Amino acid sequence: MAEHPDPRSRPRRLPGQRQTRQRSTIYEVIRTAAGPLTVPEIHQRAQREVGGIGIATVYRTINLLQEEELVQAVILPSGETRYELAGLGHHHHFSCRSCDEVFDLPACPVEIPRNDVVEGGFVVESHELTLYGVCPACVETPAASG
């Protein structure tokens, strides 16, 4: 986990044809986020950088970035789809029930090692885990969220 290079730390030139401003803006929005983002969140943040960017462009660009394996979808247990950089390595997500933001958590609280055999003879190869609670900002200002 520790030796995994963090893709966040290396802004990379996107391969392919035209490096449009919209496209690199969307990639940067995803790269610099604190956790996986929904399409409306990506749209909103990209619009701050490039006015007039349409939601259809956001969807199309995310699809291209996924095809190029620069971005991947995260589907939360709620069924909500969010997007994050591909290749972030093993991590988990924390969903704030107050502001609805989702954050990356670097720590893994699961103590079952890979390929461990658990009760009943099940060989564990991987796990997914989403934690729920209140993020630091919402802990500090509980009134702001209602």
Residues in contact with Zn ion by the rule CB under 5 A: 96, 98-99, 108, 110, 135, 138
Residue 26 CB, nearest approach to Zn ion (Å): 24
Across the beta sheet with 92-96, the strand order is 102-105, 92-96, 130-133
Contact 135, 103 (CB under 8 A): yes
C-beta of 86 vs 105, nearer to Zn ion: 105
CB of 99 to Zn ion, least distance (A): 3
- Angle, vertex CA 71, rays to CA 124 and CA 60, nearest 5: 135
Report the residue number, 111 or 119, with the smaller CB distance to Zn ion. 111
**DSSP conformation class of 14:** P
Three-state SS for 25-38 is HHHHHHHCCCCCEC
Block residue for tokens 């200002």: 141
Within the chain, strands assigned E span 71-75, 81-85, 92-96, 102-105, 117-118, 122-123, 130-133
Question: What's the closest the beta carbon of residue 123 comes to Zn ion, in angstroms?
Answer: 17
Closer of 86 and 138 to Zn ion (Cβ): 138
- Nearest distance, CB of residue 84 and Zn ion, angstroms: 15
Q: Which residue's CB is nearer to Zn ion, number 35 or number 85?
A: 35
